[in-house]
Amino acid sequence: GEIKKETGFSHSQITRLYSRFTSLDKGENGTLSREDFQRIPELAINPLGDRIINAFFPEGEDQVNFRGFMRTLAHFRPIEDNEKSKDQNGPEPLNSRSNKLHFAFRLYDLDKDDKISRDELLQVLRMMVGVNISDEQLGSIADRTIQEADQDGDSAISFAEFVKVLEKVDVEQKMSIRFLH
Amino acid sequence: MQPPAASPGPAAPAEAELLRWQWREVQAPCLVAAWILVASLAKIVFHLSRKVTSIVPESCLLILLGLGLGGIVLAVAKKAEYQLEPNMFFLFLLPPIVLDSGYFMPSRLFFDNIGAILTYAVVGTLWNSFTTGAALWGLHQAGLMDPGIEAGLMDFLLFGSLISAVDPVAVLAVFEEVHVNETLFIIVFGESLLNDAVTVVLYKVFNSFVELGPARIHAMDYVKGVASFFLVSLGGTAVGLLFAFLLALITRFTKRVRIIEPLFVFLLAYVAYLAAEMVSLSSILAVTFCGICCKKYVEANISQKSRTTVKYTMKTLASSSETIIFMFLGISAVDTSKWAWDTALVLGTLFFILLFRAVGVVLQTYVLNHFRLIPLDRIDQVVMSYGGLRGAVAFALVILLDRAKVKAKDYFVATTIVVVFFTVIVQGLTIKPLVTWLKVKRSDHHKPTLNEELHEHAFDHILAAVEDIVGHHGYHYWRDKWEQFDKKYLSQLLMRKSAYRLRDEIWDVYYKLNIRDAISFVDQAVGTPQPSGVLAAPMPALSSQGGHVLSAAKLALPSMPSRTSMSESSVTNLLRESGSGACLDLQVIDTVRSRRDKEDAAMHHVLRGSLYKPRRRYKASYSRHFISPDKQERQDKEIFRQNMKRRLETFKSTKHNVCSSKSKARLKEKGRKKKNISLTSDAPNGKTHRNVPWQEAAPVLVMVSSEEEESDSSETEREDDEGIVFIARATDEVLQGKTTPGSLDVCPSPCIIPPSPTLAEKELPWKGDQADLAVYVSSETTKIVPVDMQKAWNQSISSLESIASPPGIESGPQHRRFACPVLEEQPQSANQAISEQSSCFQFPSHISKSGRSQSDSSPDGAEQQELQPLMATEEQGRMVPTTEPRWLMFNRASHL
């Protein structure tokens, strides 16, 4: 019930995800560890796999319970029509545009200083592009990326700047997946 | 156009003729050409008034024009002479349009919405055909139509099948001007392309049913009909994929015959169309999928020039086909002999197609929205219903009907013409206001920024990962799988190794952005020649040079505007500012100028290739004639671009002007790319080309550089910029350790260019990191360099001139040839350099090559040696091919 309210998932979705949760939970202790995630074969070859797994874990912990699991997944719930209008006063739903963006932002921001530094950007770039691109090229890409986004001249991308550069992108769509009912 | 008037033969056949009237021989092609000409001229006329074209879609105007022309022809010839022949339409006019739409289909968007598109195309078209056909039949049964119309259920279903298909040509023509959001566009347009299979099958099936007569149709025939649907659609797609594969494979091996690359694209796509047509599969599907699928590989394989050629040729062909189609639609309508009007049938058809389209869309959308991430809302549905335009395909199909079997053909023809006219003209005219009125989300065309590209990439990975975690194999899962498959097998098989290696979307975007900036920079630089001229005034030599630049820039300009117009990113603007504002100090401009001079010269050559032909021919005699000029031009252009890019970077990065070193570095990178592209076999050739730009540019360059040099000699600091080169390398090491931008103060030439460093710092602070390193290097070197440099320069200036100017050129062919072995090994070292240092900085390899070859042929070998040690000291720890320093010197000298 609480999960439903917090994440906005429907009852059947929660049930479905719970069964997935338990099937991932090899230790059967009601929580998932990093290893549980890493066992998913496709995730292992996902360039950002590790980062994404990390995003599931609250700071400093290496277990995540079902609730936390759902909370993270809720970021990817598409925004539904009826949600757009309501919720003006309540807390921002997890799947709001800004929360979706923040999720992505945190993947870059390793040291959690709310800034993507050149280094952090480079690391992600390195993961995402093939080995064919040299460090130098990557460096120039990173420079350019930061230059594009940077507004306050700190040679890093703050969350505000991150939101700004992506303002034309249909984040609601591009950061949502369809959860089976 | 008026053969009868022109045909009277002048001379008696018995005598020997001086000239003979041969109208008959040329009649057909001449008429074709005349029609195309008329249509194209009409287009020009339409576009004279922006007001008209902004309100009335071109397709409407063309149809009206066709009506007018048809009327004239009718009045003159007393009979309708011309009309849209189905054969001509299907064999010649349709393929270019379909190929164009397939090839330039935004494939990501297309496949993102493939489910919806397929549903509308298949289910929607089936629904429309059957309901429309049945409803019309009902109308007929109810006795509302002229009893003279002899048509049974099958005839009406046949008519329904041809009238209900949304037409790609019409949709494209109208929607291109409306600019609705891309999702909406791709759904309507995708539907219009993919419904071809359904239309073809229904049309054929019903046609044969009509021929058979209702009595003799067996259950088996229905089953066959269904089976043939799958056969036709899947078969068509398979043919398309097969040819796409072939095409990609072939272009992989065209590196020595670049000139025919575009030909392959067109030929194979056309053959795909014909092949599908031959076995009566869906030819439209074949070409569409051929276009969609081959693009990625073909674009990676063929040269930049070929890419442009393909693009323009395709657009030209498609646009002229479209023009002719609409015009002939108008003309054909005049031919009343084929008409048989029945008001009830016409109105009924119009009403039913609109009604059932709307109903169908609403029903399907209702179902689809359960599966769609982003549901299609009401407004989308309205536009989709209303955007269901009918067009030439329907017309051609109805003309193809056999009057002997389909008794009501004349009625159907008339009705089809009315429907087509109604949808194209009325709906075409009103859809724009409708879209505005409904406030449909428009597409905002902005160029992708690097951030967007990068983050969207990240999003894709994230979504794929989340789908994995959720354990639900959705769209992203399959896309991810496909991408891996593509990367592992397809790309390896279908792309040149070089292209494959270089391929990365993020890098591509970065690359494009840089080019765009460069172009806009040229634009801006040309726009503001005045201030720089003024600045340069104190030094006479300079000012003269400024004038020179101006003219050169003007020369280069004509080719630019079209491209510059699209460069609007904020970064570009930023650059503009920093380019014109921050870097107003003399040196920046000067150096840029000299550079630009050379490049403009190069550009100029590209534009008017004839200038240097003699020399090129020379070279050609050496090997593979036709590629070389081609490539060489490309080379010039690329070098030009690279230079610009580099220069821009320096602007960004910098504080001081000169980018010579940087641009050199850029060149290097280019060199590598080129090397990759033009694998080993090109090596000798490529090298020679590489030399050429410099040699060609030489006449201009030499003067300029020497002038500049003299004028600049007071400001040796510029040399530090050489430091920038090192920066590049240095950064590499520094990348990890963050440095603070503050360290800029180390910059040795702050006094000279006070404004630019600060500005640069502000705007591009991270550059500080690099600069900082560079500065260290350069600050040491400044002490040494200037002195030595000047000496060196003074000693070598004459020899340099000889290198760069005519003597070198004349001896070109020979020395080039013998330079080859040297060059042969060069690439390797360059490659190493690449791998070890930076891909960005490979270019020097070619430059060094040119340097080397030059040195081979001229007496400056000594100079080189002289300079080398010097450079070595300043560049310790850096791995540079020995020849490079020489090059640096050459450049640097130009600023002394």
B153-197 pLDDT, tens digit per residue, is 888 888 898 888 888 888 888 888 887 888 888 888 889 888 888
CA closest to B502 among chain A residues: A132
Mean pLDDT of chain B: 65
On the CB side of B139, CA atoms within 13 Å amount to 23
- Residue A147 touches chain B, beta carbons under 8 Å: yes
Same domain, A57 and A123: no
Instruction: State mean pLDDT over B526-547.
Output: 39
On the CB side of B25, CA atoms within 13 Å amount to 3
Instruction: State mean pLDDT over B112-128.
Output: 89
Model confidence at B408: pLDDT above 90: no
- Residue B759 touches chain A, beta carbons under 8 Å: no
Model confidence at B318: pLDDT above 60: yes
- Residue B846 touches chain A, beta carbons under 8 Å: no
Structure tokens at B298: 């073909």
Answer for the pair B417, B395: CB distance below 8 angstroms, yes or no: yes
Residue A131 CB neighbours (<10 A):
8
The answer to whether position A121 is within a domain reads yes
Same domain, A97 and A154: yes
CATH of the domain at A138: 1.10.238.10
- Indicate the residue among A22, A40, A74 that finishes a domain: A74
Same domain, A63 and A108: no
Among B444, B455, B743, the strongest candidate for a mutation testing the A interface, having the largest count of A CBs within 10 A, is B455
CB contact under 8 A, B371 and A129: no
Structure tokens at B187: 């759904």
Q: What is residue A32's DSSP assignment?
A: E
> Which pLDDT value is given to residue B240?
93
Answer for the pair B354, B131: CB distance below 8 angstroms, yes or no: no
Same domain, A70 and A124: no
Give chain A's domain count. Answer: 2
Same domain, A114 and A169: yes
Q: Chain A residues with CB inside 8 Å of B514's CB? A: 144
| Helix (H) / strand (E) containing A33 | strand A31-33
CB contact under 8 A, A23 and B471: yes
Better pLDDT: B446 or B850: B446
CA-CA distance, B31 to B3, in Å (whole number)?
Answer: 9
DSSP letters, B582-606, are: IT-SHHHHHHHHHHHHHHHHHHHHH
Same domain, A65 and A112: no
For A64, the 3-state DSSP assignment is: strand
Model confidence at B656: pLDDT above 60: no
The answer to whether position A83 is within a domain reads no
- Residue B738 touches chain A, beta carbons under 8 Å: yes
CA-CA distance, B503 to B208, in Å (whole number)?
Answer: 50
> Which pLDDT value is given to residue B638?
57
The answer to whether position A150 is within a domain reads yes
- Residue B445 touches chain A, beta carbons under 8 Å: no
CA closest to A148 among chain B residues: B571
Highest mean pLDDT among B70-74, B488-492, B606-610, B856-860 belongs to: B70-74
The closest CB to that of B451, out of A40, A117, A166, belongs to A166
Better pLDDT: B378 or B217: B378
- Residue A165 touches chain B, beta carbons under 8 Å: yes
Amino acid at B369: N
The closest CB to that of A145, out of B454, B463, B469, belongs to B454
pLDDT tens per residue across span A23-71: 877 777 777 777 777 777 777 777 777 778 877 777 777 777 788 888 7
pLDDT band at B488 (very low <50, low <70, confident <90, very high): confident
CB contact under 8 A, B510 and A141: yes
Model confidence at B560: pLDDT above 70: no
CB contact under 8 A, B838 and A137: yes
Same domain, A107 and A168: yes
CB contact under 8 A, B461 and A52: yes
- Residue B115 touches chain A, beta carbons under 8 Å: no
Residue B496 CB neighbours (<10 A):
22
Same domain, A10 and A65: yes
| Helix (H) / strand (E) containing A117 | strand A115-117
Same domain, A41 and A105: no
CA closest to A135 among chain B residues: B838
The answer to whether position A87 is within a domain reads no
The answer to whether position A111 is within a domain reads yes
- Residue A173 touches chain B, beta carbons under 8 Å: yes
- Indicate the residue among A42, A74, A106 that finishes a domain: A74
- Residue A160 touches chain B, beta carbons under 8 Å: no
Answer for the pair B496, B301: CB distance below 8 angstroms, yes or no: yes
CB contact under 8 A, A107 and B458: yes
**What percentage of chain A exceeds 90 in pLDDT?**
0
Q: Chain B residues with CB inside 8 Å of A175's CB? A: 459, 462-463
Q: Chain B residues with CB inside 8 Å of A40's CB? A: 468-469, 471
Which residues 544-573 of chain B have a CB within 8 Å of chain A?
Answer: 569-571
The closest CB to that of B470, out of A20, A168, A169, belongs to A20
Model confidence at A127: pLDDT above 50: yes
pLDDT band at B635 (very low <50, low <70, confident <90, very high): low
CB contact under 8 A, A130 and B503: yes
- Residue B511 touches chain A, beta carbons under 8 Å: no
For B152, the 3-state DSSP assignment is: coil
Nearest of B489, B463, B457 to residue B475 by alpha carbon:
B463
| Helix (H) / strand (E) containing A157 | strand A156-158
pLDDT tens per residue across span B661-701: 444 444 444 444 444 443 333 334 433 343 443 433 333 33
CA-CA distance, B230 to B222, in Å (whole number)?
Answer: 13
Q: Chain A residues with CB inside 8 Å of B373's CB? A: 78, 173, 176-178
Model confidence at A158: pLDDT above 60: yes
- Indicate the residue among A74, A108, A129 that finishes a domain: A74
Instruction: State mean pLDDT over B848-857.
Output: 41
Q: Chain B residues with CB inside 8 Å of A128's CB? A: 454, 457-458, 461, 506
The answer to whether position A81 is within a domain reads no
Same domain, A35 and A108: no
Q: Chain A residues with CB inside 8 Å of B574's CB? A: 147
Same domain, A97 and A171: yes
**How far A84 CA lies from chain B's nearest CA (Å)?**
13
Q: Chain B residues with CB inside 8 Å of A118's CB? A: 735, 738, 766, 769
- Residue A50 touches chain B, beta carbons under 8 Å: no
pLDDT tens per residue across span B712-762: 333 333 333 333 333 333 333 333 443 334 333 333 433 333 443 444 344
The answer to whether position A80 is within a domain reads no
Better pLDDT: B296 or B617: B296
Same domain, A59 and A104: no
Model confidence at B771: pLDDT above 50: no
Instruction: State mean pLDDT over A80-107.
Output: 67
Better pLDDT: B244 or B377: B244
The answer to whether position A5 is within a domain reads yes
Answer for the pair B825, A124: CB distance below 8 angstroms, yes or no: no
Model confidence at B274: pLDDT above 90: yes
Model confidence at B883: pLDDT above 90: no
Better pLDDT: A8 or B591: A8
Which residue range(s) make up the domain with A69?
1-74
Among B373, B469, B762, the strongest candidate for a mutation testing the A interface, having the largest count of A CBs within 10 A, is B469
Distances, alpha carbon B603 to alpha carbons A129, B70, B612, in Å: 33, 47, 12
Lowest mean pLDDT among B126-135, B303-312, B322-331, B805-814: B805-814
For B772, the 3-state DSSP assignment is: helix
> Which pLDDT value is given to residue B782?
37
The closest CB to that of A49, out of B457, B465, B735, belongs to B465
Nearest of B540, B530, B664 to residue B584 by alpha carbon:
B530
Answer for the pair B521, B595: CB distance below 8 angstroms, yes or no: no
The closest CB to that of A155, out of B373, B476, B766, belongs to B766
Model confidence at B832: pLDDT above 60: no
Highest mean pLDDT among B329-333, B479-483, B588-592, B825-829 belongs to: B329-333
